[in-house]
């Protein structure tokens, strides 16, 4: 074995390790860049009766209201989540959701149940869920059917 082959065999493991570390830094940086994804309702959306799922690819969010507390449950852990109620006058009220036990469940008290007191009431809602620089947004209507 000549001298160049020996040097190449001794340097190769360090080059492999350095390449692995550099690719990890590159992918982590790319994951943190801001991106916006649109979520759409999966079927009919009824937040009051716990039948509202929003989808964007493999990412899903389930939104429901229980005793005046709006809860958001996601398939991936979130960094933050905000829930919006849009009035008939196009006034937007934001409700930042707080983490419950882990990053998959978020909740906040909202007046949504009071606004949807009648049968077949319709309400415009918005949701923004943040995951590592990516924002998943949705604007949709919820309608109570009993």
pLDDT tens readout for residues 88-117: 888 899 999 999 889 899 999 998 888 776
Are the C-beta atoms of residues 128 and 81 closer than 8 Å to each other? yes
Please say if the pLDDT value at position 14 is more than 80. yes
For 34-56, what is each residue's pLDDT tens digit? 788 999 998 889 888 888 999 99
Please state, for a pLDDT cut of 70, what percent of the chain lies above it: 95
Cβ-based neighbours of 145, under 8 Å, separated by 6 or more: 44, 46, 49, 119, 120
Residues 54-70, mean pLDDT to the nearest whole number: 91
Q: How much is the pLDDT for 77?
A: 92
Please say if the pLDDT value at position 121 is more than 70. yes
Q: What are phi and psi of 3, to 5 degrees?
A: -65, -40
The size of the chain, in residues, is: 146
Cβ of 91: how many Cβ atoms within 10 Å?
8
Please say if the pLDDT value at position 119 is more than 70. no
Q: What integer best gives the mean pLDDT of the chain?
A: 88
């Amino acid at each position: 074995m000549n001298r160049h082959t020996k040097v190449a065999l001794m340097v190769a493991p360090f080059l492999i390790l350095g390449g692995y570390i550099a690719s990890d830094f590159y992918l982590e940086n790319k994951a943190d860049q801001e991106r916006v994804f649109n979520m759409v309702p999966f079927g009919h959306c009824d937040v009051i009766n716990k039948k509202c799922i929003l989808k964007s690819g493999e990412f899903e969010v389930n939104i429901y209201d229980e005793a005046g507390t709006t809860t958001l449950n996601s398939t991936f852990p979130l960094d933050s989540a905000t829930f919006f109620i849009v009035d008939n006058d196009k006034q937007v009220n934001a409700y930042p959701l707080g983490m419950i036990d882990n990053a998959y469940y978020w909740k906040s008290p909202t007046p949504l149940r009071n606004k949807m007191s009648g049968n077949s009431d319709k309400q415009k809602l918005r949701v923004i869920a943040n995951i590592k620089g990516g924002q998943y947004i949705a604007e949709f209507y919820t309608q109570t059917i009993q």
